[in-house]
């Protein structure tokens, strides 16, 4: 009995010591909270995931822009409650409109968000907000809630090409990496963003301006592919701008700097020439055609289909129907024929061939097969797939439809999978990205007229939001505007 009591006391002491270690002081709020992650663990996780993000999303190739963003971010981080973290600020090569933070001080802006920020103050507001998610340990808490290992498995599943070719059909891209923050975390990060921008000499009103712009963006943005947009990962209640205004007013009243920085002209100069939309090196849509300049191929999708270009797959969907086309690379074992590679890959994915034959597809050695199988959420499907050898790679282009829909969809699916073709070096070189340009508004200009003059690359509503305006308002004559021009 005494031995049992001693064991019980030891057990209680152990539990209490673990609990005490887990109840850490939140440096940004001064409150104690339960956490299973030390600061060193935060840093280690951030370092590991930073490498994955760099490899899969790509770092935007502009040293001057990277240095500019990093300089603003480091200035903000220096006045935060955790200045000693190994802060790193990166612009990733994604057209999605987002910003996100990893534990340990790793902050990312997509290049896609930068045209939608009106000035340096708004960019500082975004960075300050994301810094707040780190200093208040929101990023670490999310990771803890996902039990760490579970998120690690999630990353592995997203960043490593799936063994099952269609396993990621419903979850293609990086969407699952970005877990949503709750309302309380968002409001706290807004307030911290105000705090850090004010301390660093920027107008704290940039946080509210950033929120207003991103709220308008929800309906105007045409590009929702790949990484999820800001509002899908940062829920925006209708009163969020109002909530942050109180913090802005307080920060302005306490500011020691009388003229806080806004700096629109320098910001515009920095993003002049920025790639807008898809980067042809990662794959780009031109009308209904998909071009990939680094892998040197093209593919034609049916008109009007929705196309999502992810890091490991391109997925197209017929609107309103369970009919898809999937394009991805397939492992190329040494010494195997194209037929053996195709049949084995499909069998490993759970699909049985009903018919197939060798073919030449636009000059490429290929195997065309029809397969039956099951895909989660779609039940029985029929697949028309081309496996084509191009350079050192094997590409799989698969048209997929519910078994009962395949007959009606077969013509479009067959035409698409057989449209896969190589690009010459000259053809690849001729495909240029769309870019941000600067334009001075003239008397009589409307957002519609400016958009039409540039070939309708973006909608008038998107152009207005990019410039901090409403599409029902006219641009002011003499106003310096961001526009999008063809490459």
Q: What's the pLDDT at 326? A: 92
Alpha-carbon distances, residue 332 vs 165, 299, 351, 395 (angstroms): 14, 21, 19, 9
Please say whether the beta carbons of 187 and 240 come within 8 A: yes
Band of residue 151 on the pLDDT scale cut at 50, 70, 90: very low
Domains along the sequence of the chain with CATH: 18-275 (no CATH), 284-430 (3.40.1000.10), 434-485 (3.10.350)
The mean pLDDT value for 347-373 works out to 95
Please say whether the beta carbons of 134 and 107 come within 8 A: yes
Half-sphere exposure of 286 (CA within 13 A, CB side): 16
DSSP per-residue string spanning 95-106: -S--EEEETTTE
Q: What's the pLDDT at 37? A: 75
Mutual orientation of helices 138-145 and 183-200 as an angle, nearest 10°?
150
Alpha-carbon distances, residue 43 vs 27, 56, 105, 199 (angstroms): 16, 20, 7, 25
Q: Tell me the average pLDDT of the chain.
A: 83
pLDDT higher than threshold 60 for residue 295: yes
Helix (H, G, I), strand (E, B) or coil at 187: helix
Q: What's the pLDDT at 284? A: 92
Tokens, residue 401? 């439809």
Please say whether the beta carbons of 426 and 455 come within 8 A: no
Residues 333-353 pLDDT 10s: 888 999 999 999 999 888 999
pLDDT higher than threshold 70 for residue 221: no
Q: What's the pLDDT at 1? A: 43
Give the 3-state secondary structure percentages of the chain, helix then strand then coil, rounded to 5.
Answer: 45, 25, 35
Q: Which long-range contacts (CB under 8 A, 24 or more apart) does 357-362 make?
A: 359/386, 361/386, 361/388, 361/418, 361/420, 361/421, 362/418, 362/419, 362/420, 362/421, 362/422
pLDDT higher than threshold 90 for residue 175: no
Residues 106-129 pLDDT 10s: 999 999 999 999 999 999 999 999
């Amino acid at each position: 009995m005494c031995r049992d009591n001693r064991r019980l006391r030891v057990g209680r002491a152990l539990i209490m010591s673990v609990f005490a270690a887990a109840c850490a002081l939140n440096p940004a709020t001064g409150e104690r909270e339960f956490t299973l992650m030390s600061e060193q663990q935060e840093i280690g996780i951030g370092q590991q995931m930073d490498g994955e993000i760099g490899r899969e999303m790509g770092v935007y190739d502009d040293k001057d822009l990277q240095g500019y963003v990093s300089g603003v971010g480091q200035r903000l981080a220096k006045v935060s409650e955790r200045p000693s973290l190994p802060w790193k600020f990166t612009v990733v090569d994604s057209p999605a409109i987002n910003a996100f933070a990893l534990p340990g001080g790793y902050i990312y802006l997509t290049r896609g968000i930068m045209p939608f920020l009106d000035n340096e103050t708004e960019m500082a507001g975004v960075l300050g907000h994301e810094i707040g998610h780190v200093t208040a340990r929101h990023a670490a808490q999310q990771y803890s809630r996902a039990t760490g290992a579970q998120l690690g498995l999630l990353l592995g599943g997203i960043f490593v090409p799936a063994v099952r070719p269609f396993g990621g059909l419903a979850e293609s891209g990086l969407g699952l990496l970005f877990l949503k923050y709750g309302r309380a975390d968002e409001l706290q990060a807004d307030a911290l963003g105000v705090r850090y921008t004010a301390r660093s000499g920027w107008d704290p009103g940039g946080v509210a301006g950033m929120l207003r712009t991103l709220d308008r963006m929800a309906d105007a943005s045409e590009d929702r592919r790949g990484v999820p947009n800001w509002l899908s990962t940062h829920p925006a209640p209708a009163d969020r701008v109002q909530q942050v205004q109180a913090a802005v007013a307080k920060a302005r009243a306490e500011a020691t700097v009388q003229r806080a920085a806004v700096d629109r002209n320098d910001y515009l100069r920095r993003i002049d020439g920025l790639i807008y939309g898809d980067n042809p090196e990662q794959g780009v849509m031109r009308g209904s055609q998909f071009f990939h300049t680094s892998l040197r191929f093209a593919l034609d999708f049916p008109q009007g289909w929705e196309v999502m270009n992810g890091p490991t797959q391109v997925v197209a969907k017929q609107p309103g129907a369970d009919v898809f086309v999937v394009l991805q690379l397939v492992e190329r074992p040494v010494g195997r024929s194209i037929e053996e590679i195709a049949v084995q890959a499909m069998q490993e994915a759970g699909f049985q061939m009903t018919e197939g034959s060798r073919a030449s597809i636009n000059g490429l050695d290929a195997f065309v097969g029809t397969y039956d199988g099951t895909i989660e959420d779609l039940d029985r499907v029929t697949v028309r797939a081309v496996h084509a050898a191009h350079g050192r790679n094997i590409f799989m282009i698969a048209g997929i439809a519910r078994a009962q829909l395949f007959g009606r969809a077969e013509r479009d699916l067959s035409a698409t999978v057989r449209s896969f073709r190589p690009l010459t070096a000259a053809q690849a070189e001729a495909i240029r990205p769309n870019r941000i340009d600067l334009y001075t508004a003239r008397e009589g200009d409307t957002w519609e007229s400016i958009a039409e003059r540039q070939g309708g690359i973006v909608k008038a509503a998107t152009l207005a939001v990019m410039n901090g305006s409403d599409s029902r308002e006219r641009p002011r004559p003499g106003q310096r505007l961001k526009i999008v021009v063809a490459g």
